Amino acid sequence: MPTPLTERQNEIYEFIRRFMRTERKPPTLQEIGDAVGIRSVSGVHKQVRALETKGYIERTPNEARGLSLVAQDDPFALDDDGVPDLPVISRTSSDAPDSLRDKPQGLLAVDPYLMRGVRDPEACLIARAGDDGMNAAGLYKGDLLVVEEVPERAVRNGTLVAVLMGETLLARRFELANGRVHFRPADRNYTEHTFPPDDPGYHVVGEIVSVLRRVR
Amino acid sequence: MPTPLTERQNEIYEFIRRFMRTERKPPTLQEIGDAVGIRSVSGVHKQVRALETKGYIERTPNEARGLSLVAQDDPFALDDDGVPDLPVISRTSSDAPDSLRDKPQGLLAVDPYLMRGVRDPEACLIARAGDDGMNAAGLYKGDLLVVEEVPERAVRNGTLVAVLMGETLLARRFELANGRVHFRPADRNYTEHTFPPDDPGYHVVGEIVSVLRRVR
DNA sequence: TATATGTGAGAAAATTATTTCACCTTTAGC
DNA sequence: GCTAAAGGTGAAATAATTTTCTCACATATA
């Protein structure tokens, strides 16, 4: 995900997730404070606002328990009937790119119809688009991208891929030309990234299979 | 199985379940009242207390959103908690607009996360966008639109709607101005449609909740 | 006529979110 | 060593919300 959390912020974020899973509702500010040891609500309020601005939670003003996890951890534990649950992934600075699945933020059920052409459903995961560089191709920042993990050498030329640049995950068109790897945005305002193959500056997660987006 | 519920009580109980599934938190008394049509909180309070004494829910006194569902013997009561399958609809010339659900093309599982804000998941269906008039808003021809069926008078101004024009289903922005209904495309190359209300030339299916698209 | 059930207005009581002010620690820069 | 900025903590008061309570009325049924 975008900005990394401080140790304290992560402690609070983890508590919120645990609480929602067991209690089936979001905690209040003082419940958070009691749990992590902050005696004053305003202290909690500040922390929670930090989580919000960093994009980890969403809040509804003036509403009791008015917060929700952004990556939608599923506290209601869906159990499925043939519909695969894919892990929603995010990344913090300390994670290695190839251990993305280790701590999924949550699970999202995806109908097999939206995974047509996938060779291995087990290799699929969901990531959020980190910028608007592919708007002209119909992909927007925040979109949930269903991605099939594929080693870079197996990526077909010209396909849409999810690629990690540092800590942000981007959707781009993958092109290999003249021994160089190009990541092409659909929008002229965004710059194309070019690397020698296997440069540590990027990490191809896989090919984009489908897109899910909440409209309202 | 405990005491049976009256019709009204069941209506309220069902609302609570739907709400908790899509919003991931219990509703407040006024949210319940607004939804089922009880103008006074005390009225709702009484109803909710009845649900509690009959053993359908549990409550924590003085706590905001302090209610939780009690698992019933009936396995479907709490735990149809699976992923809802929505009908995918299309239209042929002979169908009446309001019988869309009668012959669904198929079913598609949609995670509740993609139905946030929906009042009634039962009223949701999936339709395909029939043209590229909303490309600039990120909707493309062939996209699967998750739509909450809503009577036209309940559509909020400025929302994205799915509307039938003859036999094609379009995504458009709905605007009611000067006693006329406007369907605005996002793209200048497409013409805006304007009608007097309830003109037979169009049929509003409902509000667009989310978008699903296969990329490859 | 009782009795049970459902509805509702209005206000009090309790909880919850927000704001204001202040202080402490760490870190980077000079 | 000093200073500024950023991150974290906390007390206290206010604002908004949510729950709870008190009263009343209407309808159906035994």
**Token code pair at residue B165:** 């024009």
Out of B21, B109, B209, closest to residue A215 by CB = B209
The residue-averaged pLDDT of B38-43 equals 84
**Token code pair at residue B181:** 């209904």
User: pLDDT band at B93, cuts 50/70/90?
Assistant: very low
Q: What is the CATH number of domain A7-69?
A: 1.10.10.10
pLDDT digits (tens, 9 = 90+) for B132-190: 999 999 999 989 999 999 989 889 899 999 999 888 899 999 999 988 999 999 999 99
Nearest nucleotide to A40 (CA to C1') is D10
| pLDDT for B110 beyond 50 | yes
What is the per-residue pLDDT for B195? 93
Q: What is the CATH number of domain B85-212?
A: 2.10.109.10
Low-confidence ranges of chain A (pLDDT < 70): 1-3, 21-22, 71-106
What is the per-residue pLDDT for B99? 52
| pLDDT for B98 beyond 60 | no
What is the per-residue pLDDT for B68? 84
User: What residues does CATH 1.10.10.10 cover in chain A?
Assistant: 7-69
- State which residue of chain B sits closest to A216, comparing Cα positions: B209
Task: Round to whole Å and give the CA distance between A56 and A100.
Answer: 17
- State which residue of chain B sits closest to A24, comparing Cα positions: B25
What is the per-residue pLDDT for B22? 74
Q: Which residue has the higher pLDDT, B179 or B23?
A: B179
The residue-averaged pLDDT of B119-125 equals 81
What is the per-residue pLDDT for A155? 92
User: What residues does CATH 1.10.10.10 cover in chain B?
Assistant: 7-72
User: What residues does CATH 2.10.109.10 cover in chain A?
Assistant: 85-212
Identify the DSSP state of A97: G
Please name the residue that has the structure tokens 């995806």. Answer: A110
Nearest nucleotide to B46 (CA to C1') is C6
Write out residues whose CB is closer than 7 A to strand D: A 6-9, 37-43, 46-47, 50, 62-64, 66; B 28-31, 41-42, 45, 59, 61-66
Q: What is the CATH number of domain B7-72?
A: 1.10.10.10
CB–CB contacts below 8 A, A to B: 110
